Chains A and B, each alone.
Chain A
Amino acid sequence: MKIAVLVKEVPDSYGERKLDTTTGLADRGASDRVIDEITARAVEAAVSYADSAQDAEVVLVTMGPESAESMLRKTLAMGADSACHISDEALTGADLGLSAEVLAAALRRIGFDLVIAGDVSSDGTGGLLPTMLAQRLGVAHLTSLDSAQISETEVSGERGTYGGTVSLRADLPAVVSVTERMPDPRFPGFKGIMSAKKKPLETLTAADLGVDAQADVPRSIMLSVTQAPARTAGTKVTDEGEAGTQLADYLAEKRLV
């Protein structure tokens, strides 16, 4: 059983995240780059299954700049077996459609029984890539799972929907995406970190995957980027027994109640 996990490097949301207002691209120098927490949970789901399974192999897959390689090394220490890094200048600023084309080609090349992704990235916030991959790969999708059960032949889980929770299942191969209700990622131990240094890590370009980034297909393009004015602090009072009343009067004055 081969599980491919889609991991993504993103600007650290604890820092200041910047967009270049001329190019519309993420300003990669502006903040630390970290693994998107949700994709670390996807790795956890895969390695915890692999821990208990007979022959499960876990491959990390990412498309991202050169810096993503060290993120992959760190993440291999959680217990994955190998990693695939698609890194190509031609893919800078790729939209969802191009990203899906590239990642689907990589997944086909690697081979998989199950693909595990995060539900929504913390930078792009599309929440679309996993389903786009399922469509490209011709397999079922089970997205935004709050819990997941994996077996050798099928995957099942629950997701929240309007008015309740639905239970889903599909035969493998399939693509799933998980939410932050899934268990926290483990901290790699010393042994994991040491062995990660020797694990296979393959680097590929778009051309290796037979993808033409310049193809004349519909793309989403950014026309403009504007920084929103920063919010500033207003009135701040310390409660000396009257603050509740003061607040009620403030709200009434501003016609908010």
Chain B
Amino acid sequence: MAENNVVTFLPVLPNGELVGSAAGLLGAAGRLGSPVAVIVAAPGQGQAAAAAAGTFGAQRVYLAETPQTQSVLTAPALEAVAAAVGATGAEAVLVPNDVDGRDIAGRLAVRLPAAVAADAVGIARDAEGNVVHHSVYGSAYTTESAPTHGTLIVTLREGAVDERAQAAEPTVETLEVPEAGSAAAEITGFSENLQASTRPDLRSAATVVSGGRGLGSAEGFALAEQLADELGGGLGASRAAVDAGYAPNSYQVGQTGVTVSADLYIALGISGAVQHQAGMQSAKTIVAINKDPEAPIFDIADFGIVGDAFDVVPQLITRLKERAGGGS
């Protein structure tokens, strides 16, 4: 499988840095063949991202620098990915399962045409071809899918693949992005999220602490923040906490939010509705602190505490600090 090229779209942040999903995408691509990265960035911002893609295992990078990334939705990235697929004859195309990745995948699937494997948690290659693994219905089932024929397009769940490809010295080829081939929405503005978080990304963090409506207020939600920071973990929330304004949308864990891939998940003041469980029940160890002994979260918790989070968590933090400080 010498020349089995796997085209991998790597989104970049407004400052030109690669988004955190890059390492997992290239790791997954490496399982199928030779990772070929596609990077679309504003003029002057692509080279650093291309070099970073090499450290994550890209063998080749197609780089398109165009001011259109800031003014036209999807089309520049779509054209770049389509050009890379054309140039490499790729058997598979990987994009992150985020809004931009899905838009590229959807249009490309119709254009090629090609089958799409949605929300994949893993990919492998066997004698018959590429096989995609999914975790569906809130982790209640695992499934395997494959395309009948043709190129395979995969939207990969962020944080799901731990495998990393070996660093490479990529050849970087510049792509001229043609004018959008079809009608596209215009990007009329961008407002930066100023309080960029220093915490690990919720999707891929090894430890996640989430707060629910039980924390009672935005001030109360700070309890979850303190514990997350003490543990160096990501911060999540239930939909009720997001709806109540304790936490931003992007923190939502569950069926209509993020699916975490954590080793440790700690739920504070969260009842454990099925839709919440859908995003966290595959965590390796689940800890729940809830005042209500009947809360459904206890049915899936490895360690459950019936109690007030405002009593338990401060004591937990004190004890963790003691341990870190060399106490027993």
- Which residues between 25 and 42 of chain A lie within 8 Å of chain B, taking CB atoms? 38
Query: Which stretch in B26-34, B42-50, B108-116, B163-171 binds the other chain?
Result: B108-116
- Cα distance A172–B285 when bound, in Å? 49
For B, the interface residue count at a CB cutoff of 8 angstroms equals 100
> In the bound complex, do residue B14 and residue A138 qualify as a contact, i.e. CB atoms below 8 Å apart?
no
A116 to chain B, nearest CB (A): 14
> In the bound complex, do residue A235 and residue B319 qualify as a contact, i.e. CB atoms below 8 Å apart?
no
B251 to chain A, nearest CB (A): 12
Residues of B within 8 A of A256 (CB): 207, 263-264, 285
Residues of B within 8 A of A100 (CB): 110
Q: Looking at chain B's contact residues, is the secondary structure mostly helix, strand, loop, or mixed? A: mixed
> In the bound complex, do residue A249 and residue B319 qualify as a contact, i.e. CB atoms below 8 Å apart?
yes
- Cα distance A107–B208 when bound, in Å? 43
A56 to chain B, nearest CB (A): 21
B304 at the interface (CB under 8 A from A): yes
> In the bound complex, do residue A252 and residue B183 qualify as a contact, i.e. CB atoms below 8 Å apart?
no
Residues of B within 8 A of A248 (CB): 316, 319-320, 323
B139 at the interface (CB under 8 A from A): yes
A224 at the interface (CB under 8 A from B): yes
Q: Looking at chain A's contact residues, is the secondary structure mostly helix, strand, loop, or mixed? A: mixed
1/0 per position for B125-140, CB-CB distance to A under 8 A? 0000001000111111
Considering the complex, give the chain B residue whose CB is closest to the CB of A223.
B144
> In the bound complex, do residue B113 and residue A165 qualify as a contact, i.e. CB atoms below 8 Å apart?
no
Query: Which stretch in A47-55, A70-78, A123-131, A193-201 binds the other chain?
Result: A123-131
> In the bound complex, do residue B306 and residue A128 qualify as a contact, i.e. CB atoms below 8 Å apart?
no
- CB-defined A-B contacts under 8 Å, sample of 9: A96-B109, A131-B107, A143-B102, A167-B189, A169-B186, A223-B145, A235-B303, A237-B304, A256-B263
Interface residues of A (CB under 8 A from B): 13-14, 17-19, 21, 24, 38, 95-97, 100, 119-120, 122-132, 134-136, 138-144, 146, 156, 159-170, 174, 179-181, 217-228, 231-239, 241-252, 254, 256-257
What 4 new A-B contacts, CB under 8 Å, besides A168-B73, A220-B147?
A19-B141, A162-B11, A165-B193, A256-B285
